[in-house]
Amino acid sequence: MTQNYPDELPPIRSKTEPIPDRLRNPSFDDERFVRARGGVTIYLAMGLQTVDNDNIPTVEGIDYQYSSPLIDLVKASVVNRARHSAKWHAKNQDTALYYELMLQRVFDDRSLELHHIIAGISTSEGRPYHIYGTTSDGKVPTEQKNTPRGEAGD
């Protein structure tokens, strides 16, 4: 049976606000994820807007990493240690802060900032995925360049 959710659930805007499980772990039961072939924005830093890029909501000036290839590129033990450390520091693994801390540890880059998370379902594999939109070394997204640092997100 298909569950009905509002078509336009706004993304979480705070890194410390919990992201609901049904967004973090999408399923074929949620029509939003079935219709959105490129994924659905579940977290977007304050001050940013997405544009449609071949059915994928993106932000100009951000680098994107898919969760599956990311894990394939890095040893599982590194990813598991990064998750454990991020969970301890963030206190809640349901937040964008958790994902940011995890990615900082996976890439060994404390300057990495998470600005965008897209969630979707792989139609070929039938499992959920995330796409992480990040910057590092002080690089900021194009839409955010003229925004004072404290107002653009957490």
In a domain, 8, yes or no: no
In a domain, 71, yes or no: yes
Two structure tokens written together for 63: 């680098």
pTM: 0.82
In a domain, 112, yes or no: yes
The total number of structural domains in the chain stands at 1
**Sign of the Cα pseudo-torsion (121, 68, 111, 146, in order):** negative
In a domain, 147, yes or no: no
Cα three-residue angle 73-37-39, rounded to 5 degrees? 60
Structural domain for 64, as ranges: 22-139
In a domain, 7, yes or no: no
**Higher-scoring residue by pLDDT: 137, 145:** 137
pLDDT tens string 6-48: 455 789 999 999 999 989 999 888 888 877 777 899 999 999 9
pLDDT tens string 74-125: 777 888 899 999 999 999 999 999 999 999 998 889 999 999 999 999 888 8
In a domain, 67, yes or no: yes
